[in-house]
Structure 1
Amino acid sequence: MLRRLALASAIAFSGLLAAPVIAQDASAPAASVQQTPVQVVQEITSKLDTAIAGQRDKLKNDKEKLIGVIDGVFLPHFDIDYASILVLGQHAREATPEQRSHFAKAFYNSITHRYAEGLLNYTRGRVKVLPFGGDLNDKRSVVRTQVAMDDGKLVSVDYAFRKSSSGEWKAYDVIIEGISYVTNYRNQVDAEIKKDGIDKLINTLETQGAKALDTLEKDGKASQ
């Protein structure tokens, strides 16, 4: 299951970063007005199209520059602090503010480094954004999509959004075929912290980055 999650994740994360734009009518709010979750995805698409246009090969050979593009476009729409608290689970209450901050940055950086190349390998049309049926009066919402895999099968990928205190919608989780990315890593992070402590985990994420996530998934699979 973790193998399938990892495979779909590479496309799913690039799908959030490069999902097809859905036509809007003239009454759709401008970027300066509070956006719906779907409109957030649309804005990300537009900015990324501009950011990578004409320099795909260059970005492929310069991963740090690619990461910079992703950070500049995606990070403003991702609730990294909330997502990291969910991943830490019960350990978030035990951690100091400084530890939570360091973990959030290290975990986010690990994920972006792991899936950055997925953006360059993305083929337009693989991700279909489904009609939105949520209630924007709620504090949480979901953008539902379908991702076409290499074998032609469709995988359901949902992006969970949370409304901030300022009224902005920000993504914090990816749910692939019912499997929450936050929950999946929370179980593995929990085991790692109980084993070696949160400071050791943070150091591992900071020094090993994407390789640390691979280790977490392998360990999680072995324990099943």
Structure 2
Amino acid sequence: MLRRLALAAALAFACVVAVPAIAQDTVPVAAPTAATQLQTPAQIVQGIADQLATAIDGHRDELKHNREKLISIIDEVFLPHFDLDYASILVLGQHAREATPAERERFARAFYNSITHRYAEGLLNYTRGRVKVLPFKGDLNDKRTVVRTQVVLDDGKLVSIDYAFRKSRSGDWKAYDVIIEGISYVTNYRNQVDAEIRKVGIDQLITNLETQGEKALEIMDKENREAK
């Protein structure tokens, strides 16, 4: 069960941090409306769930054999609503201060592109109604507002997946973290990235992600499990 939760969390995080790689020939996805910036975080999450179902339904066989097109759906549906720069800084943790702007940009692209490729196919199991956005309680906080959802797994069990939002400089709401059953995936990957940077350095880590992609993540995951 823990392995399934970990994969679900990684998939959710992949969705929020995918780096743009939109193909020319993509499955039609409803374009964001002009009212997007006025939406509350809960409305954004519900909109993402609806858009994703529309994009996946009826296209599973095609997408199963075309990963790049599947990734383009992630880009189109999720990317406008997530703060990639802030999320990458959180994952780098203390190393973000040590890295140059160019290194931070390279890291964000390489890391999040790798994680998206690793888990993109999990989206093929998504169907309308799997995500239930729970009623929002409390006041909106510009620095951290959490939208709580429940996701139905194949066996009918419910998993709590929450999305942390913050208000961007432009005034719209952007998500930056996914928390599944209380486990933050920003924190989880920050620990793995920290260990890898201490071992090989940030430049080598970035190079590994750029050249090995998802394999580099698998190695990091394995080393993290063995270290515990």
TM-score by length of 1: 0.85
Q: Deviations over 1:91-150 (max 9, x none)?
A: 000000000001111121122112211211113333221111142243221110122233
Greater shift after overlay, 210-219 or 144-153? 144-153
**CA-atom RMSD in angstroms:** 2.4
C-alpha distance 222-5 of structure 1, shift in aligned 2 (>3 A): farther
What's the CA shift for 1:155?
Answer: 1.8
Structure 2 residue 175 is the aligned partner of structure 1 residue 171: yes
CA distance in 1, matches of 2:93, 2:153: 31
Asked whether 1:110 is paired with 2:114, we answer yes
2:97 paired residue among 87, 90, 93: 93
> Quick one: distance in 2 between partners of 1:223 and 1:158?
28
Q: Deviations over 1:66-102 (max 9, x none)?
A: 1112112211111111111000000000000000001
Contact kept, 8 Å, 1:10 with 1:118, in 2: the verdict is: no
Q: Which of 54, 57, 62 is equivalent to 2:58?
A: 54
Q: Is the 8 A contact 2:9 2:179 kept in 1?
A: no
Judged with a 3 Å threshold, the aligned counterparts in structure 2 of structure 1 residues 173 and 212 are, in CA distance, closer, same or farther, namely same
Aligned-pair CA distance for 1:52: 3.6
TM-score, normalised via structure 2 length: 0.83
- Aligned residue among 200, 214, 217 for 1:213: 217
- Percent identity, aligned pairs only? 75
| Mapped partners of 1:147, 1:33: distance in 2 | 25
Any conservation in 2 of the 1:126–1:147 contact (CA below 8 Å)? yes
Residue 216 of structure 2 aligns to a residue whose secondary structure is helix
1:34, 1:155 → 2: CA distance? Answer: 29
Q: How many residue pairs align between the two structures?
A: 212
CA offset at residue 186 of structure 1?
Answer: 0.5
Q: Distance in 2 between matches of 1:107 and 1:11?
A: 14
Counterpart-to-counterpart distance in 2, 1:193 and 1:169: 31
Show the counterpart of 1:8: 8
Distance in structure 1 (CA, Å) of the matches to 2:205 and 2:11:
26
**Helix, strand or coil: the match of 1:128?**
strand
CA contact (8 A) 1:148 1:154 kept: yes
* Letter of the 2:99 counterpart: A
1:25-45 CA-partner distances (Å, limit 9, x unpaired) = xxxx96255211111123323
- 1:119 matched residue in structure 2: 123
Instruction: Determine which of 140, 149, 162 is the counterpart of 1:136.
Output: 140
Compared CA separation, residues 48 and 116, structure 1 to 2 (3 A): same
* 1:187 alignment counterpart: 191
Deviation, structure 1 residue 14: 8.7
